[in-house]
Amino acid sequence: MAHSVQFFLIQLPAFLFAICFHEFMHGWVAKRYGDLTAEESGRLTLNPLAHLDVMGSIVMPLLGLWLGGFLFGWAKPVPIRPQNFKHFRRGLFWVSFAGPLANLVMAAGAALLYGGWVHFVSNDFFFYLPLKAMLEAAVFINLILALFNLLPLPPLDGSKMVQAFLPLKQAIRFEQMARFGFFILIALAYTGVIGSLLEPARDLGVYFLKTSLYMVGGI
C-alpha cells in the first residue's frame, strides 16, 4: 500500500495540472472565437479549485489509489456556448481540439524538462528521483488524456471535432448519442477496447522521453 500511495502522489501534480490546463484551453480558445461563457463563469483560470469535479477529480482518483495507485479522472467541463462563435464550424473544431492539443504540448514540454533534468542535474540531488518520476508521469498522463479525448465518442472532444464536419441533421443525431456515451465508454473499457486504443500512448511516451534525452544530450 505504501508503494501505491507513493506512486499516486508522484502522479497527482501532473494529473491535476493536465486536466485543469485542458479545460482552461477550451475556454481560452472559445473566447478567441467570441464565446465569453467560460470567462464569465470564472473558469478562465489555471486555479485548480475552479476546475475540480467531486466525482472526476476526487472520488475517481481516490478509487484508483485504492485499486492499486493508478490515476484516472477528469475536471469539471468548461461551459461553452457554440452558438456564440463567430465561425460556428471552425470554432467548434478548434475549441474541441484545444484540450487534447494542450495535453500533447504539455507532454512534449515535460519530456524536454525530463531530458534536461537527467542531463544537467546530479542524481545525488535529494529530489532527483521523485522529480524525474513526476516528469515521466506528466508525459504519459498527458498523452493518455489527449488520445482518450480524441476518441470520436460523445461527449468526448473527438466527437465535437467530428460534428464540425457533419451536416446539421447528422450532427444533431450524433450529439444525441451523448446520453449513452458514459455507458458506451464503460462497456468499451470493460471489454479492453479503450485500453487497446490507448496503447499507442505508451509507445509515444517512450519515444518522447528517448527523443528528449537525445536532443538535450546533443546541446
The catalytic site residues sit at: 23
For residue 91, the one-letter residue type is G
Q: What is the CB neighbour count within 10 angstroms for residue 49?
A: 7
The CA distances from residue 54 to 12, 34, 66, in Å, are 15, 29, 17
Measured CA to CA, the distance from residue 63 to residue 77 in angstroms comes to 21
Three cell numbers at 15? Answer: 494529473
User: In the numeric block, which cell numbers belong to residue 187?
Assistant: 462497456
How far is Cα 70 from Cα 49, in angstroms, rounded to an integer? 22
| Alpha carbons 144 and 140: distance in angstroms, whole number | 6
Q: How far is CA 46 from the centre of its chain?
A: 14
